[in-house]
Chain A
Amino acid sequence: MRLDRELTCAQLVEVITDYLEGALAPVDVERVEEHLVFCDGCTTYLEQMRATVAMAGRLRAEDIPPELQERLLGTFREWRRL
């Protein structure tokens, strides 16, 4: 996928995970970062994603209470049926 020269916020949200994982092509990284220079909303979103990744990255499977684990699995099963 080649991103548009000037990204919209919606496009940035779509690729933010790839950006954080270093999976975007250099030209697309440049476009994401150009957008971040002037977009406070997307900058905040990126910071929130970074914080989420940092917190979730410390979680182990046993850290999730069985009840929550079951609810999550149930939600994923429902998604599959859509």
Chain B
Amino acid sequence: MAAPVIAYKFLDEGRVAPFTRYRWPEGEWVETPAAVPCEAGIHACRVADLPFWLGRELWEVELDGDVIAFERKVVAPRGRLTRRVEAWNRSLAGEFAAALLVHTRRRFGSVPVLSGFVGDIAQFRATNRVPLAGFAAARAAELSGGPRAYEEERLRQAHWLADRLALGEH
């Protein structure tokens, strides 16, 4: 028997999917007729995808059936929420934004033009716009080192989250 595929879902408050507004049940299997990326199926994150989809609640989701890997997500025909990752909360989101600020300041704080991102991230942190802070840190890296640097910065963010949330690699 194949091992279950464990992935993650960021949801709005009350287990509501941010794009479809579907309210997820806790622990019950949810089935769809097919798994088609961005069209149908249970969409979830691997650890490396987490920084792109930050939301209010983080849930562990068990996937079943043929799991399709897409650029920044995985899709399966069946899935169920198995547990909420309680460590992801407003406080840790704030710590994440603070870490982004420190990192970006260290890398680009004295670099003309790019140093502007430091102030931007500080503002995003102060206004709890944490996903935007993550994006800004990656954009600063991209402007310095190209698209690959963007992806590397996002991966660094994913590692930070996985470490602090004690998530396994899936």
The answer on A and B forming one complex is yes
With an 8 A cutoff between CB atoms, is B109 at the interface?
no
Contact partner, B71, options A6, A22, A27, A36, Cβ 8 Å:
A27
Q: How many B residues, CB 8 Å from partner? A: 22
Q: Is the interface of B mostly helix, strand, loop or mixed?
A: loop
Cα A5 to Cα B72 in complex, Å, equals 11
Q: How many A-B residue pairs have CB under 8 A?
A: 44
Tell me the smallest distance from the CB of A28 to a CB of chain B, in Å. Answer: 8
Given A27-B71, A30-B70, A30-B72: A38 and B37 interface contact (C-beta under 8 Å): no
Cα A22 to Cα B38 in complex, Å, equals 9
Beyond A26-B70, A39-B132: 20 further Cβ-contacts under 8 Å?
A6-B150, A26-B36, A26-B38, A26-B39, A27-B70, A27-B71, A29-B38, A29-B39, A30-B71, A30-B73, A34-B52, A36-B18, A37-B131, A38-B54, A38-B129, A38-B132, A38-B134, A38-B135, A40-B129, A40-B132
